[in-house]
Structure 1
Amino acid sequence: MPPHTSSEQTAPHRRFLASILIPLLTAAMFLVLALEPELRLAVPLLVGVSAAATMLLAFVLYRGESRPYAWSPAVILGVALLLRLMFVTAPAQLSDDIYRYLWDGHNVLSGINPYAAAPAAMTPQTEMRQIHQAINHKEYTTIYPPAAQLVFAAGTALGGTVTGLKAFLVLIDLVLCAMTILLLQQLGLPIWRAVLYAWNPLPVLEIAGSGHVDGAGMALFLAAVLLLFRYGGSRTGAAGSGAVFAAAALIKLFPLVLGPVLFLLVPRPRRLHFAAGFCYGATLLSIPFLPDLVRIWDSLGAYGKNWEFSGFAFNALRSATGSGSLARLALVAVLLVCIAAATWRTAAAQAPENAQDGQVTPVKARRVLAACYAVAMALLLTTPTLQPWYALILATLLPFAAGPAGVVLCWAVLLTYRVQLPYFILGEWIESGWVTAAVFLAPVTAWGMGRLLSRSRQAGDPSVSSPAGR
């Protein structure tokens, strides 16, 4: 047997060092941000540190495809917990949405329908006056669906404080991380990919930092996928998955755009059961809030017609057509076309597998999740309002279908926090056209460069399979 070369002897040592240094560097970067007393005055630092953390994740993705990491589930979850603990007790600085959450949750616990009246029309109790003052857009009835109200109530029950509600949302987020690891194992994918979400700056800042509820919706989406994969062949499993997906959509409406593609994962003999479970779950969650629940449409209508933020495609179309309404309709049409295209391509790819319609295979599940990733990307690039936490729908799917475009977009949305500087100091909300353009063009450029790199690598080695083009 020939003797080992020095490079062969040092390779395991290098892999060990990388496995240790990457989580340590990640934790150190997050600690820099956690020590900042006011993130709204440290937006350049936030952008720079999160960029460094994102580049480290990109390195993990690129290197891990050829030299997998050996992180155990305990290490991945332990580091994820540490990163979130750095921010969970801090005030919610970058967003004030959590005060609306607390107001709604308190109303539910008090037996008051949160859809009955807008906060501006209600006189707060003594202990709720400070929360009431911090609510944004008090003139609108809550825009959050019924399942979100139950999450708010559960989190508010933990002391009725920002920290208590954030801690509850972080707990759900850690469950999401655990389900990501479990689903990766079930699909035959390496579990190190879970760090693309678990150690990502976006969920840490938006859930542990600002306390956004979007992660809870995506946790239920992954739960629906897991139920389909494990028990989708049975009536109960398919119906249960449909009900869980309804709950995901009724926490935040965004998962609805993933519905057509997810439906393809349901075995054909069980699709009626999935649909029935969805309808039953949505009805069961909605009944307690009737009849006032219908008022949510007024708030959703105002949001759909009037809200806009960091939407490059919307701004471009409005400038070209001279009509915001026409631009919104055009973007809805584009999104629907993207959903239809992703659904059709996934269905066409599954056509040869019709003989296995009674089961959900790992290949089917990976294909569906990749299509969901594409739909989420289309949603974020076409929405007139792109708040940073909206990208959590994409971040959740990174471990299953990650490519440069998705990784870059989950960082680029943080650039929009530039508006916090003049708003905090002067009280003026001033958006930057350059930032809006960068948020859109950064992932598009990354996608194009990824495609070129992928083709170049495949030309050199046809056996190479890389996520670079996604």
Structure 2
Amino acid sequence: MLSDDLYRYLVDGQAILRGISPYAMAPEAADFLPPDMANLPELVNHSHLITLYPPAAQIVFAAGATMGILIDPLIGMKLVLCIMDICTCMMMITLVRSLDIPACRVILYAWNPLPVMEIAGSGHIDGAAVFFFTAALMLTSRAKTGIFTGVFMALAILTKWIPLMILPAWLLLVPNKKRATALASALLTSGILTALFWPELTNGIATLGQYLRHWEFSGFVFRSLRQLSGSGIIARSIVAALFTGIVGVLFIRHVFFHTSRKNIFAYLAVVSTAFPMLSPTVYPWYALYPAACLSFVQTPAVLILSWSVLLSYRILMVRHTTGLWIEDDLTPLLIIAAPAAAIAIQGIVARFSMRQ
């Protein structure tokens, strides 16, 4: 595995199976683990911090921990996520057909090395989030009511907070007659899941606050702004404002011009690509969200980002040889420069073609 997040998932899942809230204590204080898992807290990164993963993620962790009882714990968790990812690919086929796009385009996600590495290899919970939001998108047009698309949208957001960024696009895709029902079911689902873990959930929210204030990794735009301003707070505020502006401007544009479903999916791809390019923290698995858009949006930039983001694993090679966690300035630049160059070249080619 290229990440140790899976060990925290196992601790959280074991807590759920024993009727203990994973938000009640940090992994280093976990005294409920079975003997064969007693060393798990030592493998968890930042084991002094209480989990920040939302309630729906905890249900997935519990399912993985249950599967792990039948087989190996690590394989059990990965198997649950792999099954969800296979279902994601099947739903993508239905989704692209509804947009009159050839089903073979799903190969761009299904055969992409990124989901294979990050879901099957490292077992990241983002695979479950992609599953839930793909289901929500598919059900915007297929379901008779907005109930189930709302439920799955809530599950996506409460699996990993990142799908919050696609909420405006989802609202545009839900037909007007179903929108109120979809929103109501999303809010009800969120309320039920939140209530199940309240009030200990506030501890997880506190950890999330620490992550938002202090975490950073391979974010070129953020690093550049921090160096220019001399302040991490100012840099975070600027990238947050830029991202919010992109989401807001595109949302307003689609609302006023009543664009087609295909254009809304393009909006979804732009937003999900802008997130890892502007985020202070650019882990490779964050690119799973734009990668999921490859099936219904024809843009080389998204495909290239799903490859270039893997350059961030260079730091593991340095750590393996030196024992030190050392970031460099070139790698974040290359990660963002590759898709940015693709966007520029595509624009130049398109403009040249229009002149012919």
If the length of structure 2 is used for normalisation, what is the TM-score? 0.96
Gaps of 5+ in 1: 1-91, 352-363, 461-470
Q: Secondary structure at the match of 1:158?
A: helix
Correspondent of 1:136 among 45, 68, 88:
45
Deviation at 1:127, TM superposition (A): 2.3
Identity %: 39
Correspondent of 1:243 among 137, 151, 157:
151
Partners of 2:178 and 2:104 in 1: how far apart? 33
Matched, 1:172 2:84: yes
Report if the CA contact (8 A) 1:229-1:365 is conserved. Answer: no
Deviation at 1:344, TM superposition (A): 1.6
Q: Secondary structure at the match of 2:47?
A: coil
Partners of 2:290 and 2:68 in 1: how far apart? 32
The higher radius of gyration belongs to: 1
Q: Which amino acid in the other structure matches residue 210 of structure 1?
A: S
Matched, 1:401 2:309: no
Which of 128-137 and 173-182 deviates more? 128-137
Partners of 2:119 and 2:328 in 1: how far apart? 25
- Residue number in structure 2 paired with 1:437: 333
Q: Which amino acid in the other structure matches residue 225 of structure 1?
A: L
Deviation at 1:404, TM superposition (A): 1.3
* 1:239-277 Cα distance to aligned partner (Å, 9 max, x none): 221121000001111111110121111222332212111
Q: Secondary structure at the match of 1:301?
A: helix
* 1:11-31 Cα distance to aligned partner (Å, 9 max, x none): xxxxxxxxxxxxxxxxxxxxx
- Residue number in structure 2 paired with 1:336: 244
Indicate the RMSD between aligned Cα atoms, in angstroms: 1.3
Q: Secondary structure at the match of 1:182?
A: helix
* 1:405-460 Cα distance to aligned partner (Å, 9 max, x none): 11111111000000001212332111121111111111111100011122233443
Q: Secondary structure at the match of 2:68?
A: coil
If the length of structure 1 is used for normalisation, what is the TM-score? 0.73
Q: Which amino acid in the other structure matches residue 335 of structure 2?
A: V
Gaps of 5+ in 2: none
Matched, 1:148 2:61: no
* 1:195-229 Cα distance to aligned partner (Å, 9 max, x none): 11000010001111111110111111111111111
Query: For this pair of structures, how many residues does the alignment match?
Result: 352
Correspondent of 2:100 among 173, 183, 188:
188
Q: Which amino acid in the other structure matches residue 126 of structure 1?
A: P
- Residue number in structure 2 paired with 1:275: 183
- Residue number in structure 2 paired with 1:98: 6
Q: For residues 321-400 of structure 1, what are the structure 2 equivalents within 5 Å? A: 321-350=229-258, 364-400=260-296
* 1:78-127 Cα distance to aligned partner (Å, 9 max, x none): xxxxxxxxxxxxxx2x1000000111011101111000011122334422
- Residue number in structure 2 paired with 1:72: none
Matched, 1:263 2:171: yes
Q: Secondary structure at the match of 2:21?
A: coil
Q: Secondary structure at the match of 1:344?
A: helix
Partners of 1:120 and 1:131 in 2: how far apart? 9
Matched, 1:224 2:136: yes
Report if the CA contact (8 A) 1:197-1:399 is conserved. Answer: yes
Matched, 1:313 2:225: no
Report if the CA contact (8 A) 2:28-2:42 is conserved. Answer: no
Q: Which amino acid in the other structure matches residue 64 of structure 2?
A: G
Q: Secondary structure at the match of 1:372?
A: helix
Report if the CA contact (8 A) 2:141-2:175 is conserved. Answer: no
Which of 324-333 and 399-408 deviates more? 399-408
- Residue number in structure 1 paired with 2:127: 215
Q: For residues 44-59 of structure 1, what are the structure 2 equivalents within 5 Å? A: none
Report if the CA contact (8 A) 2:236-2:280 is conserved. Answer: yes
- Residue number in structure 2 paired with 1:302: 210
Report if the CA contact (8 A) 1:116-1:141 is conserved. Answer: yes
Report if the CA contact (8 A) 2:68-2:76 is conserved. Answer: yes
